[in-house]
Chains A and B, each alone.
Chain A
Amino acid sequence: DAKTTQPPSMDCAEGRAANLPCNHSTISGNEYVYWYRQIHSQGPQYIIHGLKNNETNEMASLIITEDRKSSTLILPHATLRDTAVYYCIVRVPFGADSSYKLIFGSGTRLLVRP
């Protein structure tokens, strides 16, 4: 079962920041938070991941609360092409060799309005 809770849908205006929240209150100390998105029916696209610290890359920023029970994905200047389903995932490790699997939840359907 997915270990995350996300709102089913959100919308924002083009050019504005999109802030997508995610709750993961049962996260363990060695479990990473990953974000992927799926545009229409394409394959999921990796966005960003983090453990404790906030992270930023060319696509987005990830803000993780100090207690790690929630996080927010920020798309700083949303465009129409950012319309997609966004998945927040807690990476579940197992084994001693860094093996893991990603369990997807229902995600947030983000609609960027012109």
Chain B
Amino acid sequence: SQQGEEDPQALSIQEGENATMNCSYKTSINNLQWYRQNSGRGLVHLILIRSNEREKHSGRLRVTLDTSKKSSSLLITASRAADTASYFCATGSGYSTLTFGKGTMLLVSP
């Protein structure tokens, strides 16, 4: 069964707004990663946060991790139309093994 569950399943916003996606998982993890997938393409790695970290930033991305609640959030600030994609969280519990959630489809309208 899938480890991560993203919420919401779909999100539609205007350019310039912030987009927040959440991910919940069930078992212990070593790290949690967020990926982006444009329609019909492969996955692009966005950010990795380790189980002993609480927050991480990368450009317009901000990721938080709450291991007590087994949840993570991805915030994209000042969104752009080019951010339109599906976003997946993936949890790692062993060397390199990843389990993906169902993803959030983000639509950013100009």
Asked if A and B are interacting partners, one says: no
Residues of B within 8 A of A (CB): none
Residues on A lying within 8 angstroms of B by beta carbon are none
